[in-house]
Amino acid sequence: MSEAGQTLWQVLPLGPIGTGNSPYQSFSAFAGDPLFISLEFLVRDGLLDGRDLVEAPQFPACCADYEAVREWKLPLLKKAFRNFSATARCGDGRLFDQFCADHTLWLEDYALFLALRNKFGQDRSWTDWEKDVVRRSPAALARHREQLHNEVECQKFWQFLFYSQWDALRQHCSKRGIRIMGDIPIYVSQDSADVWSHPKQFLLDADGHPTAVSGVPPDYFSETGQLWGNPIYNWEEMARSGFEWWINRFRGTFRLYDALRVDHFRGFEAFWEVPAKEKTAVKGKWVKAPGEKLFREVTAKLGQLEIIAENLGVITPEVEALREKFNFPGMAILQFAFGIEGNAASYRPHNLIRDVVAYTGTHDNDTTLGWWNSSGGDSTRTDEDIKREKEFTLKYLGPGPEPINWKMIRAVQGSVARVVVIPMQDVLGLGNDARMNKPGVGSGNWAWRMLPGAFTTEMQERLREFATLYDRLPAEEEASSQ
């Protein structure tokens, strides 16, 4: 990225993934996924032996086989914890203890939640555990915490490793002039430590089951909308507590990143609430949310934060007013610029404003090549709509033999948008089989991996050429090149 003249690296949520391997359905809004922990670094630090890695399976190169990775990697992470415990914590005992003290607001509940999940069965929701544990009886929690002490400590140790290694990576990026933008899902998973440990903050019945769930209504891309299934926040209760949970969440998330994309920002102004027993998102309703009060409290406690608001889809003037009130830049997606939607023109590069983050596409879109070669899929577009969209796209982007993905990259780079983000799949010129996520589909997502060496010198030079041509190089590099 540095060689290519880039300065911002956007990542998906890094939390421990649950159902469907989705980073937006995590077991915690605060924890990191242990699967990211580098075993090679554990060998370097003396927590594993180099021979432990010799028998590594031949994993598929182009996609993540999550179950196979868990089967091989988690036992080695347990071994690292045993070695840590058996050698007086390898000299890092004080660092570990300090980490636990610094993260006590979420770490204790998260570690116990994972230990209980292993005890009661990983295929069971916490609502199916013993009733006194579901309802968080202090005596029951104390008993299980004592019985599961070793596993609780192991889970806490894995978080210590994750945070330590992530800090090292972030420092390395900083030295290269690369800032990291994270992603905070607006909702949390029902099967998470957050919902189990803070049930009053969500709309749940007496047994912990959601009474209403999240989603978005039918639109241009889906006739039945999207039913996400996450529990809805109990905003009245959150307001009574001064939005303490959200303040802690933002504080914890900015502990990991330099900037933050807030997913589904419109849900802070009004959200689509669907009765819990519905099978699609069609029979939902819009409900107002206290977004202004929330962000007023957050900024009062944490100061002005570098937040990018995901304001895609059907956005009302009230949503835009909320975003502008707190000076949160919005997003613009070039794939949306050429269709029949009423706001398509606002995404065209010549209509963009300075204070926006422009993309060719996002993780929820097809890749540029996949989009270009698609027949519409499950969207509401007709064949004639698609034909007109492609004809207009070619007219807008101009003639010439440049591949469509590079035409699109050039178009957003040449816009006035202050920040431009390009998915790696578009830089690499990959098709539909490299798509990261198809919203509303519960399996087969989140598995794409970039092959070593795929980001070639030629691609890096091309991105640097665009960064130079459109004045996007870091100031010190731009000065040296003139």
Whether 390 maps to a domain, the answer reads: no
Residue-wise pLDDT tens digits, 58-98: 999 999 999 999 999 999 999 999 999 998 655 678 899 99
DSSP notation for 43-76: HHTTSS-GGGGTT-----SSB--HHHHHHHHHHH
Reported as a pLDDT band with limits 50, 70 and 90, residue 478 is low
Whether 263 maps to a domain, the answer reads: no
Tokens of 215: 């989603």
Whether 76 maps to a domain, the answer reads: yes
Whether 61 maps to a domain, the answer reads: yes
pLDDT of residue 93: 81
Whether 106 maps to a domain, the answer reads: yes
Task: Kindly list the distances between the CA atom of residue 382 and the CA atoms of 55, 110, 374, 375, 376, in Å, as whole numbers in the listed order.
Answer: 52, 47, 12, 9, 7
Whether 11 maps to a domain, the answer reads: no
Reported as a pLDDT band with limits 50, 70 and 90, residue 385 is confident
The whole-number average pLDDT for the span 194-209 is 97
**With the CA atoms of 77, 79, 83 and 85 taken in that order, what torsion angle do they form, in degrees rounded to the nearest 10?**
80
* Location of structure tokens 């802070």: 268
User: What span, in angstroms and rounded, lies between the C-alpha atoms of 326 and 302?
Assistant: 13
Look up residue 393 and give its amino acid: T
Residue 232, pLDDT > 70, answer yes
Whether 394 maps to a domain, the answer reads: no
Secondary structure (3-state) at 262:
strand
Reported as a pLDDT band with limits 50, 70 and 90, residue 382 is confident
458 φ, ψ to 5°?
-60, -45
**Angle separating helix axes 138-147 and 149-175, nearest 10 degrees:** 80
Work out the percent of the chain whose per-residue pLDDT is above 70.
96
Asked if 417 contacts 332 with a C-beta cutoff of 8 angstroms, the reply is yes
Domain holding 160, by residue range, is: 27-164
Secondary structure (3-state) at 224:
coil
Tell me the Ramachandran region of residue 227: left when phi exceeds 0, alpha when psi lies from -120 to 50, beta otherwise: beta
Residue 474, pLDDT > 90, answer no
Mean residue pLDDT of the chain comes to 94
Residue 377, pLDDT > 70, answer no
Predicted model pTM: 0.94
Active site residues: 263, 310, 364
387 φ, ψ to 5°?
-60, -45
Residue 309 pairs with which residues in a beta bridge?
262
In sequence order, the 6+-apart residues with CB closer than 8 A to the CB of 102 are: none
Asked if 231 contacts 202 with a C-beta cutoff of 8 angstroms, the reply is yes
Tokens of 85: 């415990």
Residue 456, pLDDT > 90, answer yes
Whether 423 maps to a domain, the answer reads: no
Of 136-140, 285-289, 471-475, the range with the lowest mean pLDDT is 471-475
Residue-wise pLDDT tens digits, 12-68: 999 999 878 999 999 999 999 999 999 999 999 999 999 999 989 999 999 999 999
pLDDT of residue 457: 97
Tokens of 458: 């030629």
The whole-number average pLDDT for the span 104-113 is 98
Burial 250-276 (b: 16+ CB within 10 A, else e): bebbbebbbbbbbbbbbbbbbbbbbeb
pLDDT of residue 89: 57
pLDDT of residue 482: 46
The whole-number average pLDDT for the span 261-288 is 96
Asked if 213 contacts 274 with a C-beta cutoff of 8 angstroms, the reply is yes
Say how many domains are in the chain: 1
Asked if 70 contacts 16 with a C-beta cutoff of 8 angstroms, the reply is no
Reported as a pLDDT band with limits 50, 70 and 90, residue 439 is confident
